[in-house]
Amino acid sequence: MATVTSKTLEGALGAKLRLNFGSTVEEATDAQMMKACALVLRDMMAIREVETKQMVRREEKRQVHYMSLEFLMGRSLMKNAYNLGLLPQLRQALENLGFRAADIFELEPDAALGNGGLGRLAACYLDSMTTLEIPATGYSICYELGLFRQKIIEGQQVELPDNWKDLGDAWLMPKPQETEEVHFGGNIREFWADGYHHVVHENYQTVLAIPCDMEIAGYETRHTNTLRLWDAKSPSPVDMSLFSQGEYLKATEAHAMAEVIAKVLYPEDKHIEGKSLRLKQQYFFVSATVQSVARRHLETYGTLKNFHEKNVFQVNDTHPALVIPELMRLLIDDAGLSWDEAWYITTHSVAYTNHTVLSEALERWPQDLIQRNLPRIWQVLVEISNRWQKKVEDFYHDSTKTEDMAIIWGGQVRMANLCIAGGMAVNGVSGLHSGILKKDLFRNAYGMEPWKFQNVTNGIDHRRWLSEINPGLDRLIRDLAGGDEYLLHPTALSRLDDYADDAEVLQRLSEIKRKNKEAFADYARRTQDVVLNPDAIFDVQVKRLHEYKRQLLNALHIITLYQQLQDDPGRSMQPQTFLFGAKAAPGYAVAKRIIHLINSLADQINHDPICKDKLQVVFLENYRVSLAEQLIPASEVSQQISTAGKEASGTGNMKFMMNGALTVGTLDGANVEMHDLLGDENMFLFGLHADEVAELKARGYLPQRLYARDPILRRALDQLKTGFRDGVSYEDLFARLVTGSNCAADEYLLLADFAAYCAAEKRMVETYANPAEWNRMSLHNIARSGMFAADRAVAEYADHIWHVGHR
């Protein structure tokens, strides 16, 4: 793209505005200009996409199909311009045309087609798969409404619809000629004819799946991949036969059922919602994807017998698990293969990533829901389940193991067991997590087929999460670590370690952080209406709200700090600003109460004159990818404090580390690997280890004892009952931690880790008083974060699971 100058872009943007909006540059609004930018870049990517597809077909490459109900893409304009090597030219062109580039970028809505870590991981992997020149396609649903927008009203979360497509659809390329049909409901008729057993699915309702493709540009390559988002449409506005019989309402039912499938992303994170609409979403995108992949394969090879040699489906958690029976159905019913042939192909083309051990997130579908909505898939599932059960019995001769590993049991279909049975690989997302899968959650499956089990520690797109969002740090790295080499070779970051004693470098690092803090304070004033003190430590916990992530532990510690300040208002202390950002699933009442508590606490502290320039608490509204991009470069402390054994990996932890924040954290998920690289001396570790958590629970955990014994803890907890100046009591949260309310008290061991957490925070603040020491630690964090680049993770998938080549 060396030939594309800002002048070329100015011409292209002017032409787009005229052709698409009938507008001149002078007349164009910022929104029109944003769309024009998207369309100009889309054109360039479309050409490369076609070339890439031709190459893949010509060279008969094996392809990766990354299936995920979530792709949390965020914004694309700056990212695509960056990857195309056009960011400076685009900025220049916009300014030359009389626009403020920053305003145009800021206008783009986030494509929030995901909830949190799982969806953002998929987005980061698309970038790496493309940059590594792997032929790959992402598949999901083209939700009309992404994750809800969060407003805080009187301290409480209110959800608003996220209409991202108004502007965001500029990136989408509809391909109606590649529409697939997906069938729901109806019945199965079986008969013998011409010496064959025939299976006919009839009286079904058809939903059309229409691809809306988003092109994915790689960094420094012409290789271009696609994110294929399926939109749902009814084949006809009304059922004419019903309509003419006078059944007007019924006649529009099918139409409504079809279009509701792509309406909205389910906002539950790590919690299953056993709704039939969710099941329909899953089958809809799975069936459309399998059919579309099989169709292209047939066009190229004329047979499906070598399907597994040329295709691999990576399933992002169990949400796309129906890919297994759907591929079986297609191979048997449509392609006429035998069961054994079909099973061989299927079990050599599906791989499963598990993202949690929380039992409330393990998908189990009521069998009648599947029977009713997907009758043929149900038959296939029964057959898979029976054969698997026999295999398990023959191997173990142990009925408890048979039950544990069953796919259909007690009226439920267990999707994780289906993925293990029907997949060629199962992986966890950090060393600790993969170990727990083998030792605990899937121990029996591991005992029978140990070769299937792998680990691939998560990674993040470091081009977005460092280079693009932290230009100051990017500059420093280029100066010290071999120019832009780290962008394709992230371990080059380790060269920074050589500068640990270089006062000038450490000084530069601290100035970069200071500037980023001021920039964020400015952003927060404009968009959140809060005034931040840039002299305070920016201590940050941003992630979905979940009890196991323990935002409440963070809040309890802040309450303690506040109480200490009340005891001694004149005491001098290092100013601290605690920043929170979190969305709660709309139906997760406790999570919503914790948000309310943090806002009540913030209100109390921010209105108390004794806290001025000492303590500040801010709940940032509507935490999302684009807010994270502003916040993370400005953060100094990263709170990663989940109960050990509960966070599969975490990926926010990696983003903070890469931007030089120091971690206060437990030995959980990928924090363990961070600790391996950093040692005790470069992070603030605290709390029980995963095995100690298990032991304590087995022994019988009594939080009441800790409440009785520790006066500091007791005082903080009692404050929950009293509440704050807004008069709201948090007695319910107190009960959940101390007495237990129709559940065991303190399931996530906040009380057990409280004292250690306070001590870790204290060590952190003491270290902050020594800037040279702090900056040195920060430098080591950045230097050793290369291992957490998504490029490394994707290369591992490519080498050990997908068996595809890469650059």
Kindly name the residue from 48, 517, 549, 583 that is annotated as catalytic.
549
Kindly name the residue from 75, 544, 624, 736 that is annotated as catalytic.
544
Specify the residue, 119 or 218, whose C-beta has the smaller distance to ligand GPV.
Answer: 119
Q: Is 807 a catalytic residue?
A: no
Least distance from ligand GPV to the Cβ atom of residue 46, Å: 30
Q: Give 473: exposed, middle or buried? Use CB within 10 Å, 0-12, 13-18, 19+.
A: buried
Distance between CA atoms of 411 and 474, rounded to whole angstroms? Answer: 55
Q: Which element (helix H / strand E) includes 129?
A: helix 117-131
Least distance from ligand GPV to the Cβ atom of residue 693, Å: 16
- Contact window for ligand GPV (CB under 6 A) among 114-122, 500-508, 611-619, 752-760: 114-122
Specify the residue, 402 or 551, whose C-beta has the smaller distance to ligand GPV.
Answer: 551
The encoded tokens of residue 180 equal 């697939």
Specify the residue, 224 or 318, whose C-beta has the smaller distance to ligand GPV.
Answer: 318
Q: Using an 8 Å Cβ cutoff, are 642 and 551 in contact?
A: no
Contact between 406 and ligand GPV by CB under 6 A: the answer reads: no
Specify the residue, 13 or 323, whose C-beta has the smaller distance to ligand GPV.
Answer: 323
Q: Is 651 a catalytic residue?
A: yes
Kindly name the residue from 201, 376, 546, 655 that is annotated as catalytic.
655
Least distance from ligand GPV to the Cβ atom of residue 349, Å: 22
Q: Residues 433 to 472: which contact ligand GPV by CB under 6 A?
A: 458
Among 33, 648, 672, 737, binds ligand GPV (CB under 6 A): 648
Contact between 117 and ligand GPV by CB under 6 A: the answer reads: yes
The encoded tokens of residue 753 equal 């880790």
Q: Is 655 a catalytic residue?
A: yes
Contact between 356 and ligand GPV by CB under 6 A: the answer reads: yes
Kindly name the residue from 149, 223, 319, 355 that is annotated as catalytic.
355
Q: Is 270 a catalytic residue?
A: no
Contact between 33 and ligand GPV by CB under 6 A: the answer reads: no
Count of residues that interact with ligand GPV, criterion CB under 6 A: 19
Q: Is 543 a catalytic residue?
A: yes
Closest CA to 655 of 628, 695, 675, 682: 628
Coil/strand/helix, residue 453: strand
Contact between 270 and ligand GPV by CB under 6 A: the answer reads: yes
Specify the residue, 135 or 650, whose C-beta has the smaller distance to ligand GPV.
Answer: 650
Among 135, 534, 669, 687, binds ligand GPV (CB under 6 A): 669
Among 42, 183, 297, 355, binds ligand GPV (CB under 6 A): 355
- Letters for 284-313 (x = contact with ligand GPV by CB under 6 A, - = none) are ------------------------------
Among 649, 663, 671, 775, binds ligand GPV (CB under 6 A): 649
Contact between 583 and ligand GPV by CB under 6 A: the answer reads: no
Q: Is 544 a catalytic residue?
A: yes
Least distance from ligand GPV to the Cβ atom of residue 356, Å: 4
The encoded tokens of residue 264 equal 């909205």
The encoded tokens of residue 111 equal 């494509």
Contact between 650 and ligand GPV by CB under 6 A: the answer reads: yes
- Alpha-carbon distances, residue 110 vs 113, 164, 167, 479, 620 (angstroms): 9, 7, 10, 32, 17
Contact between 665 and ligand GPV by CB under 6 A: the answer reads: no
Q: Using an 8 Å Cβ cutoff, are 112 and 162 in contact?
A: yes
Least distance from ligand GPV to the Cβ atom of residue 652, Å: 8
The encoded tokens of residue 152 equal 């805080």
Q: Which element (helix H / strand E) includes 801?
A: none
Among 429, 460, 492, 789, binds ligand GPV (CB under 6 A): 429
Contact between 801 and ligand GPV by CB under 6 A: the answer reads: no
For 781-798, what is the HEC assignment? HHHCHHHHEHHHHHHHHH
Q: Residues 121 to 140: which contact ligand GPV by CB under 6 A?
A: 121
Distance between CA atoms of 462 and 127, rounded to whole angstroms? Answer: 10
Least distance from ligand GPV to the Cβ atom of residue 6, Å: 38
Distant-in-sequence, close-in-space partners of 770: CB < 8 Å, separation ≥ 6: none
Contact between 634 and ligand GPV by CB under 6 A: the answer reads: no
Q: Are strands 637-640 and 662-665 parallel, antiparallel or unpaired?
A: parallel
The angle formed by the CA atoms of residues 539, 542 and 545, to the nearest 5 degrees, is: 130
Q: Are strands 196-202 and 187-193 parallel, antiparallel or unpaired?
A: antiparallel
Q: Using an 8 Å Cβ cutoff, are 172 and 229 in contact?
A: yes
In terms of DSSP H, where are the helices of 632-702? 652-658, 671-678, 690-699
Kindly name the residue from 543, 550, 614, 646 that is annotated as catalytic.
543
Contact between 647 and ligand GPV by CB under 6 A: the answer reads: yes
Q: Residues 359 to 388: which contact ligand GPV by CB under 6 A?
A: 361
Closest CA to 783 of 537, 504, 464, 505: 505
Kindly name the residue from 137, 643, 651, 666 that is annotated as catalytic.
651
Q: Which element (helix H / strand E) includes 632?
A: none
Distance between CA atoms of 264 and 267, rounded to whole angstroms? Answer: 9
Chain centroid to CA 570: how far? 44
Among 111, 118, 258, 279, binds ligand GPV (CB under 6 A): 118
Distance between CA atoms of 271 and 585, rounded to whole angstroms? Answer: 9
The angle formed by the CA atoms of residues 369, 375 and 381, to the nearest 5 degrees, is: 85
Please give the positions annotated as active site.
355, 543-544, 549, 651, 655
The contact set with ligand GPV (CB under 6 A) reads 115-118, 121, 269-270, 317, 355-356, 361, 429, 458, 647-651, 669
